[in-house]
């Protein structure tokens, strides 16, 4: 091994970074912006992310593995318990924490609750002020002062996760907190989740966009079959689970119209993800009260270990 390659290996930094914050502050948007590809679904409805999504960002001299955690919130079901445990466990297994806040909404009770949780760990915390494209620059200073009075943040970085403003500065700040370490994943790998997981999430995202308030938290998506056919087209068979018969009717829609639209929109994203043509087949099944059944939750991939 040459001295040049040895030096590069010794100076390579790597580690794990958690993205935390109240529901709907832009955590998934930030990770997708950093990774440059949609691996975490986005929605204007809270509690969209249900599992810890791992995104991998690699440069010549560093690799950051992001954990996009479920929004920290008050739980009302076993599914909610899974989501909370996933978020809280992330704080214990990382080199740095990004605490994402919405500068448009301002500080709220949920932000103060998270700060109290942060006081229990010794991990460096970077305060990320998101949605700066929606406020005047002079509005940021009082927000920064308020947060600095509540917690000794290692760094404070204003960004627009949606537009990418100042995200490069954030990445530079994160790398400072990473130790010298190995490259955990190949340079071209952007997530450690299997393709089936991401495909299921993309289908769920379309349902979130197209349905009313009572539906989103009552659905789950499982991939039953995924294979490359002889003609090169990827066949995907997926089941959309709901809790009640009435919800099944809503998801299917009049003469199957809504289910067809979900399939069309999801297929476009999945084809972009896989880089090949996709035949997507969807079914809707009722699995009563699935959010409160441990066995069902584990079968659907919810975990907090």
- For residues 193 and 300, the model is more confident at 193
140 in Cβ contact with 103 (< 8 Å): yes
Q: What are φ and ψ of residue 304, in 5° steps? A: -135, 10
The β-bridge relationship of strands 278-286 and 96-102 is unpaired
Check residue 154 and give its pLDDT. Answer: 97
3-state class (DSSP) for residue 243? coil
Q: CA 218, CA 287: separation in Å to the nearest integer?
A: 10
Query: Which among 126, 178, 133 is positioned nearest to 160, based on CA atoms?
Result: 133
Query: Which among 224, 243, 244 is positioned nearest to 299, based on CA atoms?
Result: 224
- Region 29-58 average pLDDT: 66
Task: Name the one residue in this structure whose structure tokens are 């998270």.
Answer: 114
Other Cβ atoms within 10 Å of 232 Cβ, number: 8
79 in Cβ contact with 302 (< 8 Å): yes
- Which of 39-53, 60-74, 235-249 holds the top average pLDDT? 235-249
Which DSSP letter does residue 268 get? H
pLDDT over 70 (residue 230): yes
Please report which confidence band the pLDDT of residue 153 belongs to, taking 50, 70 and 90 as the band edges: very high
- Write the CB contacts of 274 (distance below 8 Å, at least 6 apart in sequence): 195, 234
- Write the CB contacts of 120 (distance below 8 Å, at least 6 apart in sequence): 91
Q: What are φ and ψ of residue 169, in 5° steps? A: -65, -40
Give start and end residues of each alpha helix (H) in 15-119: 27-35, 78-90, 109-118
Please report which confidence band the pLDDT of residue 245 belongs to, taking 50, 70 and 90 as the band edges: confident
Q: CA 183, CA 93: separation in Å to the nearest integer?
A: 17
Q: CA 242, CA 108: separation in Å to the nearest integer?
A: 32
Which tokens in the block code for residue 304? 């907090």
**Residues facing 19 on adjacent strands:** 68, 98
Measure CA 205 to chain center.
12
Q: CA 150, CA 166: separation in Å to the nearest integer?
A: 24
Please report which confidence band the pLDDT of residue 5 belongs to, taking 50, 70 and 90 as the band edges: very low
Domains belonging to the chain, first-starting first, are: 3-175 (3.40.50.300), 195-299 (3.30.300.20)
First to last CA, the chain: 39
Q: CA 102, CA 132: separation in Å to the nearest integer?
A: 9
Most distant CA pair in the chain, distance: 68
Please report which confidence band the pLDDT of residue 97 belongs to, taking 50, 70 and 90 as the band edges: very high
Please report which confidence band the pLDDT of residue 90 belongs to, taking 50, 70 and 90 as the band edges: low
pLDDT over 90 (residue 169): yes
pLDDT over 90 (residue 205): no
- For residues 140 and 2, the model is more confident at 140
What are 260-287's pLDDT values in tens digits? Answer: 999 999 999 888 877 889 999 999 988 8
Check residue 244 and give its pLDDT. Answer: 83
Q: What is the pTM of this model?
A: 0.62
Q: CA 207, CA 215: separation in Å to the nearest integer?
A: 8
Check residue 22 and give its pLDDT. Answer: 84
Please report which confidence band the pLDDT of residue 11 belongs to, taking 50, 70 and 90 as the band edges: confident
């Amino acid at each position: 091994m040459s001295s040049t390659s040895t030096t590069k290996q010794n100076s390579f930094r790597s580690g794990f970074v958690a993205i935390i914050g109240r529901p709907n502050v832009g955590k998934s948007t930030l990770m997708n912006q950093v990774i440059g590809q949609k691996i975490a679904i986005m929605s204007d409805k809270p509690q969209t992310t249900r599992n810890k999504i791992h995104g991998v960002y690699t440069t010549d001299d560093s690799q950051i593995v992001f954990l996009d955690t479920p929004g920290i919130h008050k739980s009302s079901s076993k599914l909610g318990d899974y989501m909370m445990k996933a978020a809280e466990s992330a704080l214990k297994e990382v080199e740095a924490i990004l605490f994402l806040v919405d500068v448009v909404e301002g500080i709220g009770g949920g932000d103060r609750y998270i700060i109290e949780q942060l006081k229990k760990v010794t991990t460096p915390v970077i305060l990320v002020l998101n949605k700066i494209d929606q406020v005047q620059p002079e509005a940021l200073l009082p927000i920064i002062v308020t947060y600095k009075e509540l917690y000794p943040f290692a760094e404070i970085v204003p960004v627009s996760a949606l537009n990418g403003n100042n995200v490069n500065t954030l990445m530079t700040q994160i790398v400072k907190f990473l130790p010298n370490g190995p490259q955990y994943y190949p340079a071209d790998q952007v997530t450690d989740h299997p393709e089936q997981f991401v495909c299921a999430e993309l289908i769920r995202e379309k349902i979130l966009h197209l349905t009313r308030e009572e539906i989103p938290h009552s659905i789950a998506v499982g991939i039953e079959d995924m294979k490359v056919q002889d003609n090169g087209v990827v066949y995907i068979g997926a089941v959309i689970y709901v809790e009640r018969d009435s919800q099944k009717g809503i998801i299917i829609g009049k003469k199957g119209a809504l289910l067809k639209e979900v399939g069309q929109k999801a297929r476009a994203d999945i084809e972009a993800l896989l880089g090949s043509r996709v035949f997507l087949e969807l079914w809707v099944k009722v699995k009563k009260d699935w959010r409160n059944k441990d066995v069902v939750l584990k079968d659907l991939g919810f975990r907090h270990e």
